[in-house]
């Protein structure tokens, strides 16, 4: 056998956009993209393909999502000529409150164990999407993932890279609380170590769980055998779930929020997701003249707009039932103008304004009928909480880590409440006609990635692949920004002169991983995929 380094790439490679007519599926794992396109070939539509991919990704990319994930989706129905929003985010156990967590000695929400876990929303959202728009049965949609779970598949390179850090994280956690974290070690390590690139990973309990889900259209997760297993393990190991937490859960069909950016309509999910952050930043930028794409002034304006939008979102975004600030106020042109006026030549230290004006997987699909889906699913921090339910392979998200413990905050932890959410699917349209789905995953990088994708597309006319290839920035807080090393050195130096604290990074995976599908007026699909991961586009 040839001996070579799986992780060494000495020369830059270039991807081209990909064209298709009958169908397209984009994700960061080739197997998942293939499952999506195979689903369309078997008679499914773009919605069926998205569900099949959503079911497969917790298996083939477990470092970013699981069977205990949350999800959001934007769905363009060609039949209805309408964009729908599906909020599959979970809720906190009724037994939890900020006061209770503070009494345990915490000043902020922890990220490991039972405290940050919430009732997972993804399985219920898969079923809701299938019932409203799908053509195939849940058993048909889950069949590919069941086969891969039983037969195994080779672990991809970037999944392995994330897996290594998680093995260290939960090895330490298991030493302190073996009853809670031993199942994670048993399911997701090989003799205590992460699976290597190209190594075969099997998860037969995952297949068994999917068969239970398929037989009940995911009802067993909330009102049946699987729910009982989750609640029983919670009670045995110090968790907070009750049967009622699951029985009372349902995903939400919601109206997407939108702004017009220089002639294009940009759509995001409404709060509790923070897609509104991208819209607020674009609202600020649409009143500014941007120079050349790779100029310090362009970077500076995007960074400053992003900072102002982010600090507002962190202050005001929460479960909409508890938000005291109106979305319409945050997205008003009047408020955008006030925030825009704060941007000068020097870097700002951002503070929230008063708007009262009066790891994660992202994937997308499109079919020849014109249906399109922008879908994002996440455990939040790679493997999430580290809590895995024995006998099921269900790894639970730690989305509750985004709650505040400040009782004066709209986002304060409370039982039955949805937390501030970082995962956001995006969608673009023009003059009432859909252009297509886009998204950039990666925690708090997501709205920053969305802004850069939209600016690259609308202001600079970049094709989908060029748009994703372009070097990125990421605001880290205060005046601290990260730039990819492909950003010209002169730009970095000028940003320093303007007061930005610049860090040049070589690890591109932390700068977001995106996918794009645009639909041309003749019906041809054009796709771009992420060069910072194992991105793949499957076509028909």
Cite the active site residues.
Answer: 360
Helices 204-216, 138-151: crossing angle, 10 deg rounding: 170
Using alpha carbons, list the distances in angstroms from residue 101 to 98, 104, 174: 5, 5, 21
Bridge partners of residue 539, in order along the sequence: 24
Contact 316, 410 (CB under 8 A): yes
How far is residue 398's CA from residue 116's CA, in Å, rounded to a whole number?
5
Contact 145, 59 (CB under 8 A): yes
Token duo for residue 119: 């009732």
How far is residue 110's CA from residue 116's CA, in Å, rounded to a whole number?
6
Burial 103-121 (b: 16+ CB within 10 A, else e): eeeeeebebbbbbbbbbbb
CA dihedral sign, ordered 181, 182, 185, 187 = negative
How far is residue 363's CA from residue 533's CA, in Å, rounded to a whole number?
13
How far is residue 339's CA from residue 333's CA, in Å, rounded to a whole number?
10
Beta-carbon-side half-sphere exposure of residue 61 (alpha carbons within 13 Å): 30
Token duo for residue 28: 């960061």
How far is residue 424's CA from residue 436's CA, in Å, rounded to a whole number?
15
Instruction: Return the closest-CA partner of residue 450 out of 507, 508, 515.
Output: 515
DSSP code string of 390-431: TTTTEEBP-GGGG-B--TTSTTB-BTTPPPPB----EEEEET
């Amino acid at each position: 056998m040839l001996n070579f380094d799986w992780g060494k790439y000495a020369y830059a490679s270039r991807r081209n956009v990909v064209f298709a007519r009958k169908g397209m599926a984009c994700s960061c794992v080739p197997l998942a993209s293939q499952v999506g396109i195979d689903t369309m070939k078997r008679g499914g539509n773009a919605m069926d393909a998205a569900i099949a991919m959503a079911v497969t990704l917790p298996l083939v990319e477990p470092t970013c999502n699981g069977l205990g994930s949350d999800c959001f989706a934007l769905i363009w129905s060609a039949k209805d000529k309408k964009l729908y929003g599906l909020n599959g985010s979970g809720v906190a156990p009724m037994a939890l409150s900020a006061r209770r967590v503070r009494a345990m000695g915490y000043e902020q929400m922890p990220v490991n164990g039972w405290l940050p876990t919430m009732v997972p929303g993804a399985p219920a959202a898969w079923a809701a999407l299938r019932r409203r728009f799908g053509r195939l049965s849940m058993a048909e949609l889950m069949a590919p993932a069941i086969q891969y779970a039983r037969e195994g598949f080779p672990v991809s390179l970037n999944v392995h890279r994330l897996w290594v850090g998680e093995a260290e994280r939960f090895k330490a956690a298991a030493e302190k609380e073996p009853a809670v974290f031993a199942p994670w070690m048993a399911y997701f390590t090989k003799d205590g170590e992460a699976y290597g690139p190209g190594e075969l990973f099997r998860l037969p309990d995952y297949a068994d769980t999917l068969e239970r889900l398929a037989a009940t259209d995911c009802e067993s997760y909330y009102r049946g055998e699987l729910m009982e297993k989750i609640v029983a393990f919670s009670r045995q190991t110090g968790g907070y779930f009750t049967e009622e937490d699951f029985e009372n859960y349902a995903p939400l069909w919601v109206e997407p929020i939108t702004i017009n950016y220089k002639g294009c309509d940009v759509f995001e999910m409404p709060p509790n997701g923070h897609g509104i952050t991208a819209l607020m930043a674009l609202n600020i930028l649409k009143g500014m003249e941007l120079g050349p794409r790779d100029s310090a002034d362009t970077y500076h304006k995007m960074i400053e707009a992003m900072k102002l939008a982010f600090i507002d979102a962190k202050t005001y975004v929460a479960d909409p039932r508890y938000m005291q600030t109106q979305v319409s106020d945050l997205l008003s042109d009047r408020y955008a103008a006030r925030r825009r006026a704060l941007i000068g030549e020097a870097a700002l230290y951002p503070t929230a304004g008063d708007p009262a004006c009066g790891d994660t997987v992202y994937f997308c699909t499109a079919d020849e009928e014109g249906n399109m889906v922008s879908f994002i699913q996440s455990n939040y921090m790679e493997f999430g909480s580290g809590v895995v339910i024995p006998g099921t392979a269900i790894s639970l998200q730690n989305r509750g880590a985004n709650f505040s413990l400040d009782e004066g905050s709209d986002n304060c932890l409370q039982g039955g409440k949805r937390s501030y959410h970082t995962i956001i699917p995006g969608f673009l349209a023009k003059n009432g006609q859909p252009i297509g789905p886009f998204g950039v995953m990666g925690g708090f990088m997501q709205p920053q990635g969305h802004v850069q994708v939209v600016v690259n597309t609308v202001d600079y006319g970049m094709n989908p692949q060029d748009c994703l290839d372009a070097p990125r920035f990421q605001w880290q807080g205060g005046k601290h920004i990260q730039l990819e090393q492909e950003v010209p050195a002169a730009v970095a130096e000028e940003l320093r002169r303007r007061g930005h604290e610049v860090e040049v990074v070589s690890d591109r995976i932390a700068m977001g991983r995106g996918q794009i599908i645009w639909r041309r007026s003749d019906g041809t699909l054009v796709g771009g995929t992420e060069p910072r991961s194992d991105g793949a586009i499957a076509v028909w």
